[in-house]
A = this chain, B = another copy of it.
Amino acid sequence: MKPEDETNEVYRFFTEVGIINQLISTKLETFLPGRMTATQFGILGHLVRRPDGETPLQLSNAFQVPKTSMTHMLASLENHALITLETNPNDKRSKIARSTPQGTEFLRVCTEQMSEALYPLLSELGSDPFHSSLPNLMLIREALDQERD
């Protein structure tokens, strides 16, 4: 394949990623209350899986959003009583975000609704397209992540 076509393929890859992200975020956001975004929901899921909590900075690295956006998202989740934000005893500059029981329950309910909504898609496609592309996506994500400095 010509190098030019390879470059084109990379662009198409990123375009498809953008559209899939758009489609799935929109779909998810119809289940979420008010203006809660897919990213905010992702953060909640991340915290539910980590009972010791994480600092805002760790979260902004994990989701690759600016710290200033993270401040806003965490404040919003805290307003909904889905997480708590305490000062980090080891470093008073820092904080620790943790999921509340309501947060965990909220995640469970939304995830269930989302699974139902995705059921037709999974029956149609099967799990293979997801299964076989996941390792490549992880590879690309890690390389992009590494490069950023």
Please list the residues of chain A having a beta carbon within 8 angstroms of any beta carbon in chain B. Answer: 1, 6-7, 9-10, 12-27, 38-39, 42, 63-65, 115, 118, 120-122, 124-125, 127, 129-134, 136-141, 143-145, 147-148
Contact = CB atoms under 8 A, between A and B. Distances in A.
B121 A23 contact: no
Contact of A143 (B6, B27, B121, B141): B121
- Counting every copy of the chain, the complex holds 2
A88 to B, nearest CB: 25
Contacts of A16: 134, 137-138, 141
Max count, chain B CB within 10 A of own CB: residue among A20, A65, A131, A139: A20
Contact of A23 (B23, B127, B131, B145): B145
In terms of DSSP, what is the predominant structure of the interface of chain A? helix
A149 to B, nearest CB: 11
Contacts of A136: 129-130, 132-133
A131 B19 contact: no
A2 to B, nearest CB: 11
21 contacts: A1-B131, A6-B127, A9-B127, A10-B130, A13-B130, A13-B133, A13-B137, A14-B21, A14-B24, A16-B137, A16-B141, A17-B20, A18-B21, A19-B64, A20-B140, A22-B64, A23-B64, A27-B144, A125-B140, A129-B139, A133-B136
